[in-house]
Amino acid sequence: EVQLVESGGGLVQPGRSLRLSCAASGFTFDDYAMHWVRQAPGKGLEWVSGISWNSGSIGYADSVKGRFTISRDNAKNSLYLQMNSLRAEDTALYYCAKDQTVAGTPTGAFDIWGQGTMVTVSS
């Protein structure tokens, strides 16, 4: 079964750090680009960051650039998001999502999603 399972969320104070993980199974992880997408409570979806299959291309939304770092370990079938200098507006459900395109240029068609991990930034 193709599956993504996020972990690492929780309650954190403003200015602190948190590292999210996403464990992939059921597909050849190192063939696909991966992304993080978040959804604040009661709000819409926001693309946060993406990484190509070989980590050669990485992108960030302006709202997190300079504070968040995406990475992957293909040997461990895992995706990560290091979140530093957290702000109240980073409070959201963070989804890990698989890009549909095999290798090559990601197309941003997110065909597999995890169930998300909740991050709450509050003092």
Which residues lie near other proteins (CB under 8 A)?
33, 35, 37, 44-47, 50-52, 57-62, 95, 100, 106-111, 113-116
Q: Closest separation between CB of residue 69 and other proteins, Å?
A: 14
Look at strands 68-73 and 58-60 and give their pairing: unpaired
Give 16 or 26: the residue with its C-beta nearer to other proteins: 26
The alpha carbons of the chain give a radius of gyration, in whole angstroms, of 14
Q: Closest separation between CB of residue 46 and other proteins, Å?
A: 6
Rounded Cα distance between 3 and 115, Å, is 10
Give 4 or 86: the residue with its C-beta nearer to other proteins: 4
Q: Closest separation between CB of residue 66 and other proteins, Å?
A: 13
Give 98 or 123: the residue with its C-beta nearer to other proteins: 98
Give 18 or 117: the residue with its C-beta nearer to other proteins: 117
Phi, psi (degrees; rounded to nearest 5) at 2 = -70, 130
Q: Closest separation between CB of residue 13 and other proteins, Å?
A: 27
Contact between residue 117 and residue 8 where contact means Cβ atoms under 8 Å apart = yes
Residues 6+ apart with CB under 8 A from 46: 37, 38, 39, 40, 61, 63, 92
